[in-house]
């Protein structure tokens, strides 16, 4: 029996609406708490850890419907907790386990995550403290090309994310992609919001 407990906000199945795996059926496990406070954050309901339900790995797996093979641990900021035991049990079920992080914490290799999406944020000076499989940058008014880390990634894995559907953000991302073809950037959208699903 594993003793790890996690503050869970919600567990639900939908589609991955962003990034490299966009469109895939996915089960999301959202943990509470975040070390940043981004102005555009659309998951502020996950900030308050006291409103979350502390669940063991067994409870998460037995009480939840983790229907999809693609599982995304998100938040808030999931690296505030030791995710190793949870990832291990999900792997035993044959799940592909991805994480969404703001990149401010190192991610231990022994968590053995299958995919790391890091989204460095202005509140942390765009610090990136983990090895990522893809990077997502929200294009707000302050964002510049110099905010993007030089960390090596295969082509097509750095996304410029439109800020909450703002036209100015979309235009700025479009211009950055076209003025820096050497960086091989991609435009990022939120498909779940366009489709008006969860």
Query: Which of positions 136-195 make contact with ligand SF4 (CB under 6 A)?
Result: none
Smallest distance from the beta carbon of 42 to ligand SF4, in angstroms? Answer: 7
* 17 annotated binding-site participant: yes
Smallest distance from the beta carbon of 24 to ligand SF4, in angstroms? Answer: 21
* 67 annotated binding-site participant: no
**Binding range to ligand SF4, per CB under 6 A, among 38-46, 58-66, 129-137, 169-177:** 38-46
# residues contacting ligand SF4 (CB under 6 A) = 11
Establish if 76 lies at the interface with ligand SF4 (CB under 6 A).
yes
The set of residues, in sequence order, having a beta carbon less than 8 Å from that of 167 and lying 6+ positions away, is none
Closer to ligand SF4 by CB, 9 or 89: give it: 9
**Binding range to ligand SF4, per CB under 6 A, among 34-42, 87-95, 163-171, 179-187:** 34-42
């Amino acid at each position: 029996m594993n003793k790890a407990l996690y503050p869970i906000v919600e567990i639900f199945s939908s589609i991955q609406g962003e990034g490299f795996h966009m469109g895939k059926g996915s089960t999301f496990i959202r943990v509470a708490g975040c070390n940043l406070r981004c102005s555009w954050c659309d998951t502020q309901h996950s900030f308050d850890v006291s409103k979350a339900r502390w669940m063991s790995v067994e409870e998460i797996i037995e009480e939840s419907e983790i229907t999809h093979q693609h599982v995304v641990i998100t938040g808030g900021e999931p690296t505030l907790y030791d995710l190793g035991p949870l990832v291990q049990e999900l792997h035993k079920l044959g799940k592909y386990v991805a994480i969404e992080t703001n990149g401010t914490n190192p991610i231990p290799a022994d968590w053995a995550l299958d995919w790391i999406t890091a989204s460095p944020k202005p509140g942390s000076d765009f610090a990136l403290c983990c090895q990522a499989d893809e990077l997502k940058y929200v294009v707000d008014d302050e964002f510049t090309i110099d905010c993007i880390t030089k960390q090596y990634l295969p082509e097509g894995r750095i996304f410029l994310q439109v800020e909450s559907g703002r036209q100015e953000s979309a235009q700025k991302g479009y211009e950055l992609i076209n003025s820096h073809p050497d960086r091989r950037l991609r435009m990022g959208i939120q498909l779940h919001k366009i489709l008006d699903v969860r």
